Amino acid sequence: MANVSKAELRDGGLLSRWEAVANKYDTLNDQLTDPAVLAQSSLLVSLNKERAELEPIAHMFAKHRQVLEEIAQAQGMAADQQLDAEMRRLVGEELEDLDSRREVLENQVVELLCPEDEGNNKNSFLEIRAGTGGSEAALFAGDLLRMYVKYAEAKGLRSELIESSETGIGGIKDAVLLVEGKGAFGFFKYESGVHRVQRVPTTEANGRIHTSTATVAVMPEVEEVDVQIEQKDLRIDTYCSSGAGGQSVNTTYSAVRITHIPTGVVVTCQDERSQLKNRTKAMRTLRTRISDAERAKQEASIAEQRRSQVGTGERSEKIRTYNFPQNRVTDHRIGLTLHKLDRVLGGDLDDLVTALKAQ
């Protein structure tokens, strides 16, 4: 498929391009039943791959065409002057539902028709830290961590807790979550920033609403070719893994601490019983943190005038509020408010992510 921007699609080219892709899909289906094509294994593989890429778009086109037909039928019924008030109300509700389905399909296909940023498919590191608010902030950070794990599961992604510092009451001071799979960074990249929560803490006897914060930083995993780390620049220490209260959980030196001497970046990993596995995990985290530090240094050198125009991107900028008394979540970047906070914290982030992508 040739590259096209979302703006171009929304300015009027959507239906014609969508139909062209659906027609191409039908043509490929015909070709794949041709004996001459079936006799050429390399061509067969190529055509099957192209067909697989177009299949979801073609199926959505068929659904969209069906919805348009149903809209036309409902509009015809609405124009009937003999309809009573109750039937007219029902037809009106059906039209609203059909129009909503049409809009959802068109928004979804815009994402499929636009060329995808390859960086979106990188694995992603999420660093979650408790902010202002003491133990309540730590509890909220734990809520965010669980929310992201559930969202990753819903998207068919694999998540793994790389580092975690727990408070002992269900909260966390800080944690690093690795999310792996196709589209991992694309799904999470809009979560960076300060998340604010407004709720009554369980320890609050008078029922007063407290405001606490947690910060989230999202970074794509950096491949080895992106960051060159010399072995001579590393100091690697091994020690026994330990659990809560300092109790040893492993009598072998399986835990690993790696220090990158030029930058002072330190990472630790003790999740696995194997020192080799812990070292591999720690190196992945180290490469990502060094790359992020280098990007931060570059941004710091940009002229103040340009920085004021594009924004600083600092984590201290509040991006979202989670209000428990009103079951409300508001994303301040796009002015979107949803009254389904319970579902959002349960991993239902699709409405927020879709709206942020569209913006």
- Judged against a pLDDT cut of 60, whether residue 104 lies above it is answered with yes
The pLDDT confidence band at residue 309, using thresholds 50, 70 and 90, is very low
Q: How far apart are CA 341 and CA 347, in angstroms?
A: 10
Tally of domains in the chain: 3
Residue 157 counted as domain residue: yes
Of the listed ranges 54-63, 152-161, 174-183, 244-253, the least confidently predicted one is: 244-253
Of the listed ranges 31-35, 39-43, 301-305, 331-335, the least confidently predicted one is: 301-305
- Judged against a pLDDT cut of 90, whether residue 348 lies above it is answered with yes
What is the mean predicted confidence (pLDDT) over 63-81? Answer: 88
The pLDDT confidence band at residue 15, using thresholds 50, 70 and 90, is confident
Residue 27 counted as domain residue: yes
Q: DSSP letters of 131-153?
A: -SSHHHHHHHHHHHHHHHHHHHH
Q: How far apart are CA 57 and CA 25, in angstroms?
A: 9
pLDDT, residue 272, reads 79
Residue 1 counted as domain residue: no
Q: Looking at 57, 79, 113, which one is the last position of a domain? A: 113
- Judged against a pLDDT cut of 60, whether residue 227 lies above it is answered with yes
For 146-152, the CB contacts below 8 A with 24+ separation are: 146/345, 147/344, 147/345, 147/346, 147/347, 147/349, 148/177, 148/179, 148/188, 148/191, 148/347, 149/177, 149/347, 150/346, 150/347, 151/187, 151/347, 151/348, 151/349, 152/179, 152/181, 152/184, 152/187
Both 310 and 347 in a single domain? yes
CATH of the domain at 251: 3.30.160.20
DSSP lists the bridge partners of residue 358 as: none
pLDDT, residue 16, reads 81
pLDDT, residue 12, reads 57
Both 45 and 93 in a single domain? yes
pLDDT, residue 222, reads 66
Both 296 and 318 in a single domain? no
Where would I find the H helices in 224-315? Answer: 275-300, 304-310
- Judged against a pLDDT cut of 80, whether residue 226 lies above it is answered with no
Both 177 and 286 in a single domain? no
Q: How far apart are CA 326 and CA 215, in angstroms?
A: 22
pLDDT, residue 178, reads 93
What is the mean predicted confidence (pLDDT) over 216-225? Answer: 73
Residue 324 backbone dihedrals phi, psi, to 5 degrees: -70, -45
Stronger pLDDT, 61 or 273, i.e. the higher one: 61
The pLDDT confidence band at residue 305, using thresholds 50, 70 and 90, is very low
pLDDT, residue 253, reads 74
What is the mean predicted confidence (pLDDT) over 185-201? Answer: 91
Please name the residues in contact with 57: beta carbons below 8 A apart, sequence gap of 6 or more.
Answer: 18, 21, 22, 25, 109, 112, 113
pLDDT tens string 231-255: 888 898 888 766 544 444 555 677 8
Residue 310 counted as domain residue: yes
What is the mean predicted confidence (pLDDT) over 89-100? Answer: 87
pLDDT, residue 283, reads 87
Residue 162 counted as domain residue: yes
pLDDT, residue 298, reads 57
pLDDT, residue 286, reads 87
Mean residue pLDDT of the chain comes to: 82
Q: How far is CA 287 from the centre of its chain?
A: 21
Both 184 and 134 in a single domain? yes
- Judged against a pLDDT cut of 60, whether residue 302 lies above it is answered with no
Both 182 and 310 in a single domain? yes
Residue 192 counted as domain residue: yes
Q: Looking at 284, 300, 316, which one is the last position of a domain? A: 300
pLDDT, residue 2, reads 46
Both 137 and 185 in a single domain? yes
Both 218 and 321 in a single domain? yes
Stronger pLDDT, 173 or 82, i.e. the higher one: 173
Both 107 and 135 in a single domain? no
What residue numbers bound the domain in which 330 lies?
Answer: 119-224+305-358
Please name the residues in contact with 111: beta carbons below 8 A apart, sequence gap of 6 or more.
Answer: 357
Give the H or E element holding residue 267. strand 265-269
- Give the number of residues written for the chain: 359
Q: Looking at 75, 97, 113, which one is the last position of a domain? A: 113
Q: How far apart are CA 127 and CA 161, in angstroms?
A: 10
The whole-model pTM stands at 0.54
Q: How far apart are CA 255 and CA 274, in angstroms?
A: 8
Helix, strand or coil, per DSSP, at residue 81 = coil
pLDDT, residue 170, reads 77
Both 212 and 322 in a single domain? yes
Residue 101 counted as domain residue: yes
Q: 14-31 and 85-113 are packed helices; what angle lies between their axes, rounded to 10 degrees?
A: 70
Both 140 and 251 in a single domain? no
Q: 4 is written with which tokens?
A: 């096209």
Residue 353 counted as domain residue: yes
- For 188, other C-beta atoms within 10 Å of its C-beta total 26
Q: Radius of gyration (Cα) for the chain, nearest Å?
A: 26
Where would I find the H helices in the chain? Answer: 6-8, 14-31, 35-38, 41-78, 85-113, 134-154, 184-188, 275-300, 304-310, 341-345, 350-358
CATH of the domain at 318: 3.30.70.1660
Both 87 and 27 in a single domain? yes
